[in-house]
């Protein structure tokens, strides 16, 4: 049996185990690379046996230059045509992912994946597509597991890439990359080579090219060991989830954990952790920020909960007890034409279209930025609407915020939107730049940008 016959046999068993039958429609997430090209070829070979319909779906992420994308699309069109499969091409507007990554402080890799999967799901929801098959292989799974080990993932993360879930199929997940490449050679397939696979700015590439060779020298059998770890974690996770359901009644989208404070005190650390993570996932008003383990750790191991209303607080949220129950809540207080928000690193959303980027540790000066010397700040820093009696101490003396807004000729109905930045000592800045006015910074907080050092907090406000 040659490599192609072996892989056809393995994929055939996989499809039967996952319930793929005649009349189903399968789309292949197709990049033109070795994995997706071999998967498309093998699935096309299996069509007579399973009688499903098949199409390839290519996603242009709008990240690379247009000339390169046009050449790649031409390549995937040729590959799909040679295999004998129709191709659908979807485009993400150029620069959209990069802009979102900058404004939300997230990686381009993560956002590109998020956009790509959204397109896959939309296709399954809008058309008659039954499944999306992806070309992840055994080496991809091992790389993911190694990455998550060093990122400190829990049991769910250490399960690795799922073989199938929610309509997504990964028929090659148990197949080593070397076998896939042999299959491509055996059948004269000519996959495209993605130049970004060699760029070490991407985390997965660094793991593949720098970390794994070192691991392989010390642990030659690391592939089998990592797959075994994933299976053990999957078994442990399935058991833990079943037992947790006996203890926890559920969560609601308004932030309620549906558990009393007294009951929470009886939970084991693992049960508390699962409760907090799962309630966070369903909470509809959470910010984009992920829930960090170091934020909740203090709440896991102490039998006596913190006194007072607030149990813990993170960058954009708090966990509080009210009326004997536990709730998630945001650190943004909204009322009619008024807001209050605690400032933390990342991107802060202000009511309306205003965004505030919070940068720590220095950076390149931008004219519209406001710079603070962190050693002069008496935290916490909050951003809020103007209140009666507010004033700011400028180099020319004290100025009431009301008078400042009058000088700027801001209509009374719009003044609540202008951000006022405060610490415990009072107002340290007024951010007028996004509205066409000059930023004003308290005299004690003025910093020469040319002398900016690491001990700097930068606020960059803009309209989205």
Is the CB of residue 358 less than 8 Å from the CB of residue 373? no
Interval 290-318 mean pLDDT: 82
Portion of the chain with pLDDT greater than 90, in percent: 44
From the list 69, 7, 83, the residue with the least C-alpha distance to 40 is 83
What is the distance between the alpha carbons of residues 161 and 87, in angstroms, rounded to a whole number?
A: 26
Phi, psi of 342, deg, nearest 5 = -80, 135
What is the distance between the alpha carbons of residues 268 and 259, in angstroms, rounded to a whole number?
A: 14
CB contact burial 137-162 (16+ within 10 A = b; e otherwise): bbbbbbbbbbbbeeeebbbebbbbbe
pLDDT value for 449: 56
Which CATH code fits 3-135+171-198? 3.40.50.620
pLDDT value for 352: 62
Q: Distance between terminal CA atoms of the chain?
A: 59
pLDDT value for 216: 94
Q: How confident is the model at residue 88 (pLDDT cuts 50, 70, 90)?
A: very high
pLDDT value for 178: 94
Within the chain, what is the greatest distance between any pair of CA atoms? Answer: 87
Is the CB of residue 430 less than 8 Å from the CB of residue 393? no
Asked which of 110-114, 159-163, 192-196 is least confident by mean pLDDT, the reply is 192-196
pLDDT value for 464: 65
Span 203-218, pLDDT tens digits: 788 898 899 999 999 9
From the list 256, 279, 250, the residue with the least C-alpha distance to 325 is 256
pLDDT value for 365: 58
CB contact burial 402-439 (16+ within 10 A = b; e otherwise): eebbeebebeeeebbbbbbbbbeeebbbbbbbbeebeb
DSSP state of 349: E
Tell whether the torsion through CA atoms of 355, 360, 365 and 371 is positive or negative.
positive
Q: What is the mean pLDDT of the chain?
A: 86
Span 159-175, pLDDT tens digits: 999 999 999 999 999 99
Q: Report DSSP letters for 192-238, one per residue.
A: ---GGGG-TTSHHHHIIIIIHHHHHHH-TTHHHHHHHHHHHHHHHHH
User: Token pair of 220, please?
Assistant: 């030659």
Interval 96-124 mean pLDDT: 86
Interval 26-39 mean pLDDT: 96
Domain ranges of the chain: 3-135+171-198, 256-330, 335-463
Span 393-443, pLDDT tens digits: 888 889 999 999 999 988 888 888 888 988 878 899 998 888 888 889 888
Give Cα separations from 125 to 128, 132, 153, 171, 396 (angstroms).
8, 11, 31, 21, 62
Span 354-385, pLDDT tens digits: 777 777 765 565 667 888 877 788 877 888 88
- Whether residue 250 has pLDDT greater than 90: no
pLDDT value for 451: 52
Task: Give the CB-side neighbour count of residue 252, counting CA atoms within 13 A.
Answer: 10
């Amino acid at each position: 049996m040659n490599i192609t016959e072996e892989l056809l046999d393995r994929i055939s068993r996989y499809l039967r185990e996952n319930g793929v039958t005649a009349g189903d429609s399968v789309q292949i997430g197709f990049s033109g690379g070795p994995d997706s090209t071999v998967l498309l070829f093998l699935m096309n070979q299996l069509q007579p046996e399973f009688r499903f319909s098949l199409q390839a779906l290519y996603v242009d992420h709008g990240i690379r230059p247009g000339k390169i994308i046009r050449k790649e699309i031409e390549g995937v069109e040729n590959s799909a045509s040679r295999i004998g499969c129709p191709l659908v091409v979807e485009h993400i507007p150029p620069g959209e992912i990069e802009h979102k990554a900058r404004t939300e402080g997230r990686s381009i890799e993560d956002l590109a994946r998020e956009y790509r999967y959204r397109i896959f799901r939309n296709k399954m929801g809008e058309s008659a597509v039954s499944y999306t098959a992806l070309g992840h292989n055994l080496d991809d799974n091992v790389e993911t597991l190694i990455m998550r080990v060093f990122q400190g993932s829990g049991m769910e993360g250490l399960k690795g890439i799922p073989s199938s879930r929610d309509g997504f199929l990964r028929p090659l997940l148990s197949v080593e990359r070397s076998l896939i490449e042999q299959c491509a050679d055996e059948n004269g397939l000519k996959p495209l080579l993605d130049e970004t696979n060699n760029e070490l700015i991407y985390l997965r590439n660094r793991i593949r090219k720098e970390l794994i060779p070192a691991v392989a020298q010390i642990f030659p059998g690391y592939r089998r060991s990592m797959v075994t770890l994933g299976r053990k974690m999957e078994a442990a996770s399935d058991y833990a989830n079943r037992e947790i359901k006996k203890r926890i009644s559920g969560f609601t989208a308004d932030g309620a954990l549906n558990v009393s404070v007294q009951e929470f005190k009886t939970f084991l650390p693992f049960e508390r952790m699962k409760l907090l993570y799962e309630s966070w996932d369903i909470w509809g008003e959470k910010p984009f920020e992920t829930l960090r383990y170091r934020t909740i750790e203090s709440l896991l191991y102490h039998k006596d909960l913190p006194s007072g209303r607030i149990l813990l607080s993170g960058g954009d949220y708090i966990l509080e007890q009210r009326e004997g129950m536990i709730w998630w809540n945001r650190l943004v207080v909204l009322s009619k034409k008024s807001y209050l928000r605690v400032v933390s690193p990342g991107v802060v959303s202000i009511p309306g279209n205003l965004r505030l980027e919070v940068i720590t540790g220095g950076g390149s000066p931008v004219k519209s930025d406001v710079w603070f010397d962190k050693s002069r700040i008496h935290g916490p820093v909050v951003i809020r609407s103007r209140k009666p009696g507010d004033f700011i101490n400028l180099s020319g003396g004290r100025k009431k915020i009301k008078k400042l807004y009058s000088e700027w000729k801001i209509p009374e109905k719009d003044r609540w939107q202008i951000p006022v930045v405060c610490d415990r000592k009072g107002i340290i800045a007024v951010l007028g730049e996004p509205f066409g006015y000059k930023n004003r910074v308290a005299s004690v907080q003025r910093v020469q940008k040319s002398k900016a050092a690491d001990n700097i907090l930068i606020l960059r406000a803009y309209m989205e």
